[in-house]
Structure 1
Amino acid sequence: MTLMQSINNFFTNAQQQITSLYGFQDALLFQPNEPDTARTIVQTPDVFHMPYETITIETPDNEKLHGFLIKQINRTNERETLIFFHGNAGNIGHRLQNAHLLYRACNINILLFDYRGYGKSTGAPSETGLYTDALAVHDYVRKRNDLNQEKIFLFGRSLGGAVALHLASHLAQINATPPLHSVIVENTFTSIPDMAKRLFAVAVLDYVPNWCYKNLFPSLTKIRHIKCPVLFLSGGQDELVPPPMMEKLHEECKSSKKQLVIFPDGQHNTTWLSHDYTAQIRKFLTECSALPSEPTASNLN
């Protein structure tokens, strides 16, 4: 084989790998049909005896998002309200045990919703679509006069962390008021290209430009814009997202109130079962509520 043939073969193989990666990204990243009943069976908060409303949120591009608003029975409008951004598989019914734990231990209201193409929500998932969904859900919460608008916070796990960080970054850049109370992310990644390099371990990926990726979710870039308090929850035994990614997100965060908590035995999907998990969240929320309010455009005049 000549040198020119070797070079041609190298670039042909590289092109095939990149093309395959691009086309296969959605199937790897978005798994709304896992398990196979995830689009047909969605358990309700009745399972854990939590009072709730079934809600439908319409997006600007006419998708309908299915969700549950779980509210504390007493002093509802004094509590913090968590908007829950779940991971890349299953539906909100699969998060009810986790929601119940937070509901009881932290005394908060919780809004669970499925992204487009997940559970009983319409449409098909995409990076842009999930960002649109996040803003639509945030706008919906801001119109609820039964929720304390000074205590709205985001929680995102894995892929949901990337969506939550995007929303928080967007709101910070437009100086939305009232500002978010806080953001909590768990076992999330710095970007999809970073994850691809880890999962595929193909040398050529080190030289692949970002435009070759269908989905980016560039959380490392977006974390730098966030001004509100941020709590990073990391499983020390995370077998999917390398814990150093969470450390890097924490390092690059510019918020004056940020904290990284590592649960030594936590794995990617089980960190929320770790000892002291809810106590750390409750402590963080309490500390955030005690912080002085940031000045807004209206009270600077």
Structure 2
Amino acid sequence: MGSATSSMAAKFAFFPPDPPSYNIHVDEPTGKMRISDVHPREDVDVVKINTKKGNEIVALFVKNPSASLTVLYSHGNAADIGQMYHIFSELSVHLGVNLMGYDYSGYGQSSGKPSEQDTYADIEAAYKCLEETYGVKEEDVILYGQSVGSGPTLELATRLPHLRAVVLHSPILSGLRVMYPVKKTFWFDIYKNIDKIPLVNCPVLVIHGTEDDVVDVSHGKQLWELSKDKYEPLWLKGGNHCNLELYPEYLRHLRKFISAVEKLPRHRNPTEPSPLKTNDNKDDKARSSSGQRDKARWSTGQLREKSRRSTDNREKSSSRSSTYSREKSSRKLSEDRSGKARNSTDSDRARNSFDRLGDMVRSVGLCNVDCMKPAAFEA
């Protein structure tokens, strides 16, 4: 019974793009592996990594010569690193970090089949590659988990006491809680993030859209409340599950967060709260749409705004779902690969220096973590 239930949960949770969006070939002049259908870049390494589960996963390492920190990015569902290639590259440039993104077992050109335990082995293998191949230290790593990717991110974060920071992008409380508002954790649930987040000792940034009709914003808010070392969260008013990167606040807030954690001591006692606070500025009001605004800062674990709890279980409007469905159905994988200009519902939003990245995000849809629905990409 238990095995059958866990297997069923896994089938609901994983939707690898079929077929994969990319192939791998060896560049004859250099002997380096390359991703197909993208312009080769000397600052991007394509590597294959063996996991303790016996699978071989594919990863990208984007190098930034001025970076002091490295982001290990766990992407969401229904996507692979071929679709995320340009986004990874642009984030590395705009945030001033090295960045490694990897495909889970069974995704892209990684071997095996996806499962909760395999994703844990996958992120562990990617992290070991950063340490052993690129010489990255634990205290210089930021783990970034997007939606389903928040599962392997928090699993690894609980085992790294000197980790620099964690970013949770549209995260889930658990797999079962995406589908049902259960109050207790069942043994057959997957990605029990709600039970792991209190064990993370480093600063945690949570980013979530207030109109997310795939993973409700209450997931992000509860994870933020349960974090030991809170950083000012980003509740993007009107943002859904697919478009948070299109908001100018997204990049500004990430930059601010990385700038703050860069100043933390590299060998800080993990049991002590972070000593830094974010700077007050006018942008805080726009970023903090749930009402915490200037008050949400580095915390020792005490919740300062209990009134936010009353908004967690608000009703979702049916218009959100129809808008989201139209948004997904309009995206084409063939457009993803072409990189040509696309129509944008956000064209009147000033994205400043983030315009290029916004276009790339839009081109792949980035609805790449959909725990309950099949991928909307077209072959």
Q: Is this a same-fold pair by TM over 0.5? A: yes
Cα distance in 2 for residues equivalent to 1:149 and 1:165: 15
Following the alignment from structure 2 to structure 1, what is the Cα–Cα distance between the partners of residues 3 and 46? Answer: 41
> Match for residue 69 of structure 1?
61
Equivalent position amino acid for 1:58 in 2:
N
Match of 2:221 among 237, 243, 247: 247
Contact 2:154/2:193 (<8 A) preserved? yes
2:164 aligned with 1:188: no
Structure 1 length-normalised TM: 0.78
- Return the letter of the residue paired with 2:178: M
Contact 2:155 2:196 in 1 (8 A): yes
Q: How far did 1:28 drift?
A: 1.9
Distance 2:259 2:50 in 1: 32
1:93-242 superposed matches below 5 A: 93-147=82-136, 150-172=139-161, 179-197=162-180, 210-211=186-187, 213=188, 215-242=189-216
Q: Give aligned-pair identity as a percent.
A: 24
Match in the other structure for 2:46: 54
Unaligned stretches of 5+ in structure 2? 25-34, 271-379
Report the 3-state secondary structure (helix = DSSP H, G, I; strand = E; otherwise coil) of the residue aligned with 1:276.
Answer: helix
Q: How far apart, CA to CA, are the structure 1 residues paired with 2:97 and 2:252? A: 13
**How far is the alpha carbon of 1:19 from its aligned partner?**
10
Distance across 2 between alignment mates of 1:50 and 1:192: 38
Kindly state the Cα deviation for residue 218 of structure 1 after the two structures are TM-superposed.
0.5
Paired residue for 2:15, among 23, 31, 39? Answer: 31
Give the gaps of 5 or more residues in structure 1: 1-14, 173-178, 199-205, 297-301
The separation in 2 between residues aligned to 1:207 and 1:105, in whole angstroms, is 40
Q: Deviations over 1:163-202 (max 9, x none)?
A: 1011101223xxxxxx21111010011111211215xxxx
Q: Distance in 2 between matches of 1:44 and 1:153?
A: 28
The code of the aligned residue for 1:274 comes to Y
**Alpha-carbon distance change, 109 to 45 in structure 1, aligned in 2, over 3 angstroms:** farther
Against the structure 1 CA distance between its residues 262 and 143, is the aligned structure 2 distance closer, same or farther, given a 3 Å change threshold?
Answer: same
CA shift digits 1:28-50 (9 cap, x unpaired): 21011x3x322654756944857
**Alignment length (residue pairs):** 260
Larger radius of gyration: 1
Q: Is the 8 A contact 1:48 1:97 kept in 2?
A: no
Shift of 1:246: 0.4
Q: Which amino acid aligns with 2:253?
A: Q
